[in-house]
Amino acid sequence: MIDVKYDIKYGDKTELTLDIYKPTGDIIGTVVDIHGGGWFRGDKKTESDIGEFLGEKGYLVVAPNYRIGPENTYPAPLDDMDQLVEWLQEQKLADNIAVLGSSAGGNMSVEMGIKYGFPAISLSGILDFDEWLQMHQHVVAAPNQTKDLDVLQKTAGINQDGANDPFYKWFSLNYLNGDLTLASAATPYHKITETTGPMFLANSLNEFVPNSGVLKFAERLTQLNVPVTTRFMTGSEHAKGYLEAVKPDILNFLVENINK
């Protein structure tokens, strides 16, 4: 059984609220679960599946909202996560913590793992901006069709249908506010250090998030002796589209990396 509390304020902006999924029994540790949506849509309410799944396993799950576009671009969502960490510290919840995120949330989870040393799980995280954009200058950026609201409420995904370079370029440029000079700073693997937390990185082999980001990220972690596990699924499912398949991996990673 779990106890759920909604819309708890955590920062200095009115939209910065979070939901908490709290086990009624002993708590193993805290997992921050960051929703996806390409930094232009999505909401913490999509994370009830992970909140309930991990809550029933003994983890206290914190699912935050963060500022999204078009009004808010890089690095505003990451600044919001700094405020979340301050709140977690105030609540005495930051000593035994891991971070999990899907798609855009996967990017933010590894950013927190780099900055704070938290163990981090990325499901189809957006990990490559600068080199990918340089190599795909010929691609014409274009939005995909908005999914049915009911689908959006049940998934954290922004595209579950396979490769889509125009869409990847579209929301990447949106996140950077069209400023390509920010691409390097926004690409997480450039920031990895020896104090980065252990990582679990998942991707599908034929999805719209390029595997190049995962491979470069894992290579850099390995060079600096930071533990990393990767899993590449067959097919084209994106992020929480393959959640059921990676649930055992998530639990194993948390057991190995959160102190009891």
Which amino acid, residue 146? T
Closest by Cα among 175, 104, 84, 76 to 133: 175
Gap between the Cα atoms of 199 and 139, Å rounded: 31
Which amino acid, residue 186? A
| Interval 62-95: pLDDT, tens | 999 999 999 999 999 999 999 999 999 999 998 8
| Interval 19-47: pLDDT, tens | 999 999 999 999 999 999 999 999 999 99
Number of domains the chain is built from? 1
Gap between the Cα atoms of 79 and 75, Å rounded: 6
Note the pLDDT of residue 161. Answer: 66
Closest by Cα among 208, 213, 104 to 164: 208
Note the pLDDT of residue 219. Answer: 97
- Spatial strand order of the sheet with 59-64 comes to 2-9, 17-23, 59-64, 29-34, 97-102, 120-123, 199-204, 228-233
Note the pLDDT of residue 144. Answer: 74
Note the pLDDT of residue 145. Answer: 56
Range of the domain at 207: 2-257
Closest by Cα among 157, 121, 199 to 47: 157
Q: Give the 3-state secondary structure of residue 252.
A: helix
CATH number at 135 reads 3.40.50.1820
Note the pLDDT of residue 149. Answer: 39
Give every CB contact of residue 241 below 8 A, 6+ residues apart in sequence. Answer: 155, 157, 160, 204
The H or E element that residue 116 is part of is helix 104-116
Question: Cα 127 from chain centroid?
Answer: 10
199, 112 in Cβ contact below 8 A? no
- In angstroms, the Cα distances linking 34 to 98, 100, 149, 206 are 11, 6, 19, 23
Gap between the Cα atoms of 147 and 161, Å rounded: 11
Gap between the Cα atoms of 9 and 5, Å rounded: 11
Mark the ranges of the chain whose per-residue pLDDT is less than 70.
145-161, 259-260
Provide the 8-state DSSP code for 35. Answer: -
